[in-house]
Structure 1
């Protein structure tokens, strides 16, 4: 589970997000303004920040720019707002935000955004590194006139190209059932559920529907296994027919 910093000047929003994320097993720290967010960023090194745009002392976009300029944007940041314009959301994304949540925030959208941001955190950190390097060594951008002229578009395209190379559908051979397709571009929760469903369907078919043997194979208790299969929507009768 992750360490998540929630920055919002509304007490109700902070409490709601804390309850949801804490129930998911995350460690959650709260800040009600930019000053507290700066302190929390230095103190706890969060894995993810949920950052409100409109705050009384310093707005979220300004704080995001500050972190980016000082090399502190080493974690994914999801912006939140109930009044932001499309231009504001685009600007935040350009600076380095990985997502945007519109208030009121629903449970499903929150968890999907958090899972997606955490799953791409290493990519975000790698993509942020060249920006810091270019500030420290501007001569690198002037190696050739042609490269220097194209640098802004190339820099903005590289993270997208890297993300595209890492995302997509993976085809895995599935004995007796052809090919298993896994969508790695899906939110982490959905991708995990798809894999787990395929895993249990495979072993149920292999063990001719024996819950005891599948429980032993997976290391789960029978009652836990049954709840898991029901949650994933596994058809036990179909698994037996495929054996």
Structure 2
């Protein structure tokens, strides 16, 4: 069973929306409708459509502006066809330059509409098949290496095990391995593995079955999953499992089925935590903020951004998104460092202290370079643990404030320009 293709129609004219809905639904597409840019943003975020038909002239934000916004945030992952009844050639050229697939003038002819939709979907499917998009995780070298690892697996139907800390982006990587327009099934209840394993495989036939946190399954459920792994070829199903717990250790301690572990560990993908790729944080903060509204990033002052970028994020992406949600959905337009510190304090994971991660080549460096690398890791870690409170950082490091600022500048480590309240 192949999942139907979703098309998002964005137009402020109700007659146009209803007409396009009727035509495209008759062609077998799932059609979602948005009367303005705000609704379009929300539907784009929730459903990730295969194609967007986007009107240029709308009351809250014009289509070109929305197109630019999606492009800047890395969300232009589907073809977009612009619609307008009175646009200039310059507007059409600008939209195409930004990334629009094509441009249709109203009133839109039926054959012209359908041929353009088919061409756009074909191009979009080819792009999705040829490249994995991990923009939701970042653009650092570490993420590029992760993308390369996933791309080697995308054309195979082998089982994959995703490992890493809580919140690193399991679902995003699992989605990256999923073939578009095929069934996508998330295992919501481990009990179904025992009661109806073959029914699950049939539901996911030709597609992907995603099993989050397999360490939480009971031993009976684990054995049933191991049984299903031997049947995936018959059903053409790729099973992708995720675990934030060390399955090898659990297996050695008798707390995880050794047969299942042996099957899963043959194709393991490690997803790196945020603290090992801090260069991604600025872009991720911007991207998460834009998901709320176009003006959301402007509410984050340089001081707040600095604190966000230096925080330890033991909960990784999930914690970052939760903190930004708390900040940006508050009624306080003036977001302060004190406000952010209060939230970070509530969400900080105190169960295990952060340990500095030394680069793999650390012990091959000359002494001077190794010392500088260690000092950079030491101060970045200390700034994160103390929420960039410079008084506490100076106390913990045993340095005078002026010496501390001089050392941070020497190491090219950014720090707040004003002191957060004690």
TM-score (norm 2): 0.30
Q: Quote how far apart the aligned CAs of 1:127 are.
A: 9.1
Write 1 or 2 for the structure with the bigger share of strand. Answer: 1
Q: How does 1:175-194 map to 2 (within 5 A)?
A: none
- Quote the Cα distance in structure 2 between the aligned partners of 1:102 and 1:71: 27
Find the partner of 1:67 among 50, 59, 70: 70
Q: Quote how far apart the aligned CAs of 1:122 are.
A: 3.3
Find the partner of 2:86 among 55, 59, 83: 83
Give RMSD over aligned pairs: 2.4
CA deviation profile, 1:86-145 (whole Å, cap 9, x unmatched): 111111111111011100011111100100000110344589989x7xx957xxxxxxxx
Do the aligned residues in 2 keep the contact of 1:53 with 1:61 (CA within 8 Å)?
yes
Find the partner of 1:14 among 12, 17, 27: 17
Q: Quote how far apart the aligned CAs of 1:32 are.
A: 0.2
Match of 2:109 in 1: 106
Verify: 1:24 aligned to 2:27, yes or no.
yes
Find the partner of 1:94 among 89, 94, 97: 97
Match of 1:57 in 2: 60
Residues 1:24 and 1:57: Cα distance change in structure 2 (over 3 Å):
same
Residues 1:40 and 1:9: Cα distance change in structure 2 (over 3 Å):
same
* Structure with larger Rg: 2
Q: How does 1:1-243 map to 2 (within 5 A)?
A: 1-125=4-128, 136=139
- Quote the Cα distance in structure 2 between the aligned partners of 1:22 and 1:126: 25
SS of structure 2 residue aligned to 1:120 = helix
Do the aligned residues in 2 keep the contact of 1:74 with 1:128 (CA within 8 Å)?
no
Match of 1:206 in 2: none
- Quote the Cα distance in structure 2 between the aligned partners of 1:17 and 1:102: 14
**Paired residue total:** 136
SS of structure 2 residue aligned to 1:67 = helix
- Quote the Cα distance in structure 1 between the aligned partners of 2:130 and 2:91: 21
Residues 1:76 and 1:57: Cα distance change in structure 2 (over 3 Å):
same
SS of structure 2 residue aligned to 1:49 = strand
- Quote the Cα distance in structure 2 between the aligned partners of 1:32 and 1:92: 20
Residues 1:107 and 1:68: Cα distance change in structure 2 (over 3 Å):
same
Residues 1:37 and 1:120: Cα distance change in structure 2 (over 3 Å):
same
- Quote the Cα distance in structure 1 between the aligned partners of 2:67 and 2:23: 24
SS of structure 1 residue aligned to 2:81 = strand
- Quote the Cα distance in structure 1 between the aligned partners of 2:104 and 2:130: 22
Match of 1:178 in 2: none
Moved over 2 A (4+): 122-130
User: Structure 2: which 5+ runs fail to align?
Assistant: 141-422
Do the aligned residues in 2 keep the contact of 1:76 with 1:124 (CA within 8 Å)?
no
Do the aligned residues in 2 keep the contact of 1:9 with 1:33 (CA within 8 Å)?
yes
TM-score (norm 1): 0.52
Do the aligned residues in 2 keep the contact of 1:77 with 1:98 (CA within 8 Å)?
yes
Q: Quote how far apart the aligned CAs of 1:12 are.
A: 0.2
Do the aligned residues in 2 keep the contact of 1:89 with 1:100 (CA within 8 Å)?
yes
- Quote the Cα distance in structure 2 between the aligned partners of 1:57 and 1:126: 34
User: Structure 1: which 5+ runs fail to align?
Assistant: 138-243
Match of 2:347 in 1: none
Write 1 or 2 for the structure with the bigger share of helix. Answer: 1
- Quote the Cα distance in structure 2 between the aligned partners of 1:80 and 1:4: 14
